[in-house]
Structure 1
Amino acid sequence: MSAKDLRRSGSPFTSRNSVRATLSLLGATGLFVSSLSAQAGGIMIYEAGHEGTGLANAGSAVLATDPSVLMTNPAGISQLAGTQINFNAQVILGDLSFSRDSANTFSGNEGGNALKYLPGSSFFISHELDDRSTIGFGMYGNFGLALDYDDDWAGRYFTQESAIIGVSFQPTYAYKISDDLSIGFGPRFMLGYFRTEVAVNNNVLGLGNADDGQLRYKDTDWGTGANIGLLYNLNDRTRLGVAWTSKVKLEFEDRPELKNITNPLLRFALNRVDVDQLSIDMNVPQTVTTSVSYQLDPQWTLLGSLGWQDWSDFGKVGVEVDTDAASTSRTADRQYKDTWHVSLGAQNQINPKLRWNVGVAYDSSAVEDKDRTVDNPMNESWRLATGFNYALQENLDMHMSYTLVYLADMEVQQTKSRSGGSVSGEYKNAALHVIGGGLVWRF
């Protein structure tokens, strides 16, 4: 039976923090070669189907047009009158296909398109208590990534399938300190889901022709954090906003599932692994975002954002048991670094019912080219976004948006430091396509 026959069906979850993993190998003789890897990583997703998606995150900390602003700046709901409800849905389509080059040493195909689609939704509500105080609640997912390669691809000993997703639940309170200054706070409760599948090489020291085995691992965990924001009206035309989200720690711990381990030496070693102690801890990164909006005239408004994400605290350690004839290593470095975001956008109020949005954004990469891995092939990215908001009725708006996230070409050469095999190649013209829309009711 091959690893492909052993896979479980089901759609991957993600879309992204310190990764610490311990896999204790007790009494191993060091006379076998195996490769077990667990992925932890992801991308910070600005898109949640809300109207701001069409601005590529430009002005996200000042754009108080509906309750979704509590996700990016809790103080923003202080600007919303009455009760407002916002429901959104979106789908992320991917083009992330790997091509091998001459440095690749593993057999197998090229894996297919590893990022096919990822659906998502979000829900927000705000309620004005009085002239100063507003409460709200949001449920959204803006962290994660899911990859699903063919089981028998050339990089199967690094990953076959990996997913990490965080869904946040955020009650929020905002208060107007004055007519121009507001503050907002929201505790954030995140439900995290982690899953990985990876092939296990049954052929000791490259000898034999046995089918691959497989390791599967999945778990869920709750983490807590906070969102805090300030909103300030500098004058009648200019609004400033700043928001901070704390890190959220997720701790996954479960027994891995091992299948089809036919090599007796490998089975002997894995049977002595204290698998209950396989734990993966990660920190969803803290972020800081500053935004500005400037109303040129009754029709045009310009927006911009500058942001920072603490990916260096996401994690530098992943699980990878890599064995040669002399010794065994149990971890693999993930050299993540902090990232920066900048975005510019514009809104055009074409008529009293129709508003058009457009934006462009740049995010730096969380990894150097030499540290890129197939379980999370990050790169710098450009966003091009557009969308519209249309008033169907006096108290009901509809919005839709499209975003292109362009990752360009990403070269990868990932090598087992002890056993020496490499998966090497390129993701050419990698890109994501995000299509979303939603409704806003006002009462």
Structure 2
Amino acid sequence: MQHKYLPLIIAAALSAMSAGANASGYRFGSQSVSAQGTADSNAAEANDATTIFYNPAGMSRLDGMQISAGATMVVPHSTFTDSGSTRFTHTPTGGTAASDYVPSQVTAPSFYLSKKLNDKWTVGMGMFVPYGTKITYGNTWTGRYALSDVKLESVTLNPSASFKLNEQHAFGFGIDAEFMKANLGQAVDVPGSVMALAGTPNAAALAKQIAQLGGNPALLGTAKDAHGANDGKDWGWGFNLGYLYTLDQNTRFGLTYRSSISHQLRGSTVWDFSKVTTDPIVNGVLQAASHKANSAALVALRTPETLSANVFHQFDAKWAGMADVTFVRHNRLGDLDIQFPGTAEGAEVIRQQWKNTVRVSLGGNYVYNDNLTLRAGLAYDESPVKNAELTHPALPDSDRMQYSFGANWKLNARSSIDLAYSFLDFKDAQINYTNACNPLATACTGNGETTRGTFKTHLSLIGLAYNYKF
């Protein structure tokens, strides 16, 4: 029951929300502090080693060997207001309000290195965090039967190369080695199951079995939630391509593509019924009746691919403008089928059916003096979630606006520091998600809960990076 969400966290994951991302889905949108300062609109600028992520063809513009090492701290704020979450029995879930369920801050590092080999070839290596999220609602909140906590961590290694055909045309390509690690927790609706069975032959059989084993059947009326926890990890492989067209010394156009990556997320699931009642015999009988046994977990999924078009223009010695349009094929994530190899437990289907999205960003640079360049930008990013009925607590996503400003300060001829701040304002996210299974079903896994309410979210991004030219 738990394991099934592994894909969610990671599939969607494949992106990031409340807790830690600024792009739609689970994608961590900022892979460069200099780019963050322009709301990630500067892919065609190709002014430092972070172009390895945004457009590897841009390495053709870099001289010598260059490095860029940075970190982006995400400071989220999110609230949830419940509006009538229910069990599969259509009775209230009870529980407590969700509060402080996002971390005070999370930090994502990045590192890029480029080396010019000759007039034609430049090679590089990038390391960055493509997806991530961390949400801890707790074991007692009203939506606990859908999710109690989720954590997704990922890192991508991206060796790359660029080839400069002539002064107008440059091409780039890279290999993506992507590692993902996920943890997820969820309550098990034992109280609802006991209530639903009350007065039936099955309830009488349970009571009789407990009594025969020396337990106290009366404790069935005091049953509390059980809990499931799982983890999983996997390496996946993909590639990225880039093209940069230089019209003249002031104007450049870029196209970039980053492929989908297939993952077979493998892990384990542990079910804890030890606190359902004060009687271990009752707990053991209830766990056996639930058909939930510790097991392996398997989820197959694919991350979304992206296609971007961008432009950069230097208006004069002081001002430059830039823009980017990125298409994300989020419909790679349809219904998630989570399987439990080696058990008779039916899979759980998580309905997502994401839609493809577009992100549009505009930005500009202003050279204040020889040592200081100021940046600013804004972006509109669509959410892949179609509606409230397909919104899950692991990703209470919505459309958002990003407002950014930043600066580059030259310390000397070889080194500089980038700073950036962004504010992301999310539209209210309505949730009315119902799990299509229930705890008494044998052909599938799920609590059958309906989670209803409203998420309100905004977050800040604070970035710092150091650049050096050898």
Q: Into which bin does the TM-score normalised by the smaller protein fall?
A: 0.7 to 0.9
In the other structure, the counterpart of 1:347 is 365
Q: Shift in Å at residue 273 of structure 1?
A: 5.3
- Counterparts of 1:167-182 in structure 2, within 5 Å, are 167-182=155-170
- Counterparts of 1:281-300 in structure 2, within 5 Å, are 281-300=300-319
Question: Is residue 93 of structure 2 the alignment partner of residue 110 of structure 1?
Answer: no
Question: Is residue 453 of structure 2 the alignment partner of residue 425 of structure 1?
Answer: yes
Q: Shift in Å at residue 329 of structure 1?
A: 7.2
| Aligned residue type for 2:153 | I
Contact 2:232 2:268 in 1 (8 A): no
Query: What is the rounded CA distance, in whole Å, between the counterparts of 1:50 and 1:107 in structure 2?
Result: 44
In the other structure, the counterpart of 2:421 is 402
Question: Is residue 53 of structure 2 the alignment partner of residue 66 of structure 1?
Answer: no
Change (3 A) 1:15 1:171: farther
Question: Is residue 464 of structure 2 the alignment partner of residue 437 of structure 1?
Answer: yes
| Aligned residue type for 1:339 | T
Structure with more of its chain in helix, by fraction: 2
Query: What is the rounded CA distance, in whole Å, between the counterparts of 1:342 and 1:392 in structure 2?
Result: 32
Question: Is residue 183 of structure 2 the alignment partner of residue 156 of structure 1?
Answer: no
In the other structure, the counterpart of 1:134 is 122
In the other structure, the counterpart of 2:233 is 220
In the other structure, the counterpart of 2:74 is 92
Q: Choose 209-218 or 413-422, whichever is displaced more.
A: 413-422
1:135-157 per-residue CA deviation (whole Å, 9 max, x = no partner) reads 10011012222211122111111
Contact 1:18 1:313 in 2 (8 A): no
Query: What is the rounded CA distance, in whole Å, between the counterparts of 1:102 and 1:386 in structure 2?
Result: 40
In the other structure, the counterpart of 2:409 is 390
Deviant stretches of 4+, over 4 Å: 14-19, 261-266, 269-274, 318-321
- Consecutive unaligned residues in structure 2, runs of 5 or more: 1-7, 14-23, 87-91, 196-220, 277-282, 439-447
**Residue identity (%):** 24
Contact 2:311 2:322 in 1 (8 A): yes
Query: What is the rounded CA distance, in whole Å, between the counterparts of 1:283 and 1:220 in structure 2?
Result: 14
- Consecutive unaligned residues in structure 1, runs of 5 or more: 1-13, 20-40, 322-326
Contact 2:85 2:142 in 1 (8 A): no
Query: What is the rounded CA distance, in whole Å, between the counterparts of 2:347 and 2:265 in structure 1?
Result: 21
Query: What is the rounded CA distance, in whole Å, between the counterparts of 1:279 and 1:319 in structure 2?
Result: 6
Contact 2:64 2:115 in 1 (8 A): yes
Query: What is the rounded CA distance, in whole Å, between the counterparts of 1:274 and 1:209 in structure 2?
Result: 24
| Aligned residue type for 1:115 | V
In the other structure, the counterpart of 1:35 is none
| Aligned residue type for 2:264 | E
Structure with more of its chain in strand, by fraction: 1
Contact 1:15 1:146 in 2 (8 A): no
In the other structure, the counterpart of 1:78 is 60
In the other structure, the counterpart of 1:307 is 326
Question: Is residue 266 of structure 2 the alignment partner of residue 257 of structure 1?
Answer: no
Contact 2:31 2:129 in 1 (8 A): yes
Query: What is the rounded CA distance, in whole Å, between the counterparts of 2:94 and 2:379 in structure 1?
Result: 39
| Aligned residue type for 2:302 | N
Q: Shift in Å at residue 235 of structure 1?
A: 2.1
| Aligned residue type for 2:102 | L
Query: What is the rounded CA distance, in whole Å, between the counterparts of 1:173 and 1:350 in structure 2?
Result: 33
In the other structure, the counterpart of 2:33 is 50
| Aligned residue type for 1:159 | L
Provide the TM-score with structure 2 as the length reference. Answer: 0.80
Change (3 A) 1:199 1:152: same
Two-structure CA RMSD over aligned residues (Å): 2.4
Query: What is the rounded CA distance, in whole Å, between the counterparts of 2:329 and 2:465 in structure 1?
Result: 30
Question: Is residue 288 of structure 2 the alignment partner of residue 275 of structure 1?
Answer: no
1:9-68 per-residue CA deviation (whole Å, 9 max, x = no partner) reads xxxxx996589xxxxxxxxxxxxxxxxxxxxx94222213421111111122x1211101
Contact 1:52 1:63 in 2 (8 A): no
Q: Shift in Å at residue 103 of structure 1?
A: 5.5
Secondary structure of the corresponding residue to residue 49 of structure 2: coil
Query: What is the rounded CA distance, in whole Å, between the counterparts of 2:291 and 2:84 in structure 1?
Result: 36
Provide the TM-score with structure 1 as the length reference. Answer: 0.85
Q: Shift in Å at residue 236 of structure 1?
A: 2.6
Q: Shift in Å at residue 203 of structure 1?
A: 2.0
1:320-378 per-residue CA deviation (whole Å, 9 max, x = no partner) reads 99xxxxx9873221121111111111111111111111111111110122211111111
1:148-185 per-residue CA deviation (whole Å, 9 max, x = no partner) reads 11221111111111122321001111110001211011
Change (3 A) 1:289 1:320: same
Query: What is the rounded CA distance, in whole Å, between the counterparts of 2:295 and 2:270 in structure 1?
Result: 9
Q: Shift in Å at residue 113 of structure 1?
A: 3.0
Query: What is the rounded CA distance, in whole Å, between the counterparts of 2:188 and 2:292 in structure 1?
Result: 16
Q: Shift in Å at residue 211 of structure 1?
A: 2.5
Q: Choose 258-267 or 360-369, whichever is displaced more.
A: 258-267
Change (3 A) 1:163 1:44: same
Change (3 A) 1:274 1:437: closer
In the other structure, the counterpart of 1:8 is none
Change (3 A) 1:334 1:318: farther
Secondary structure of the corresponding residue to residue 106 of structure 1: coil
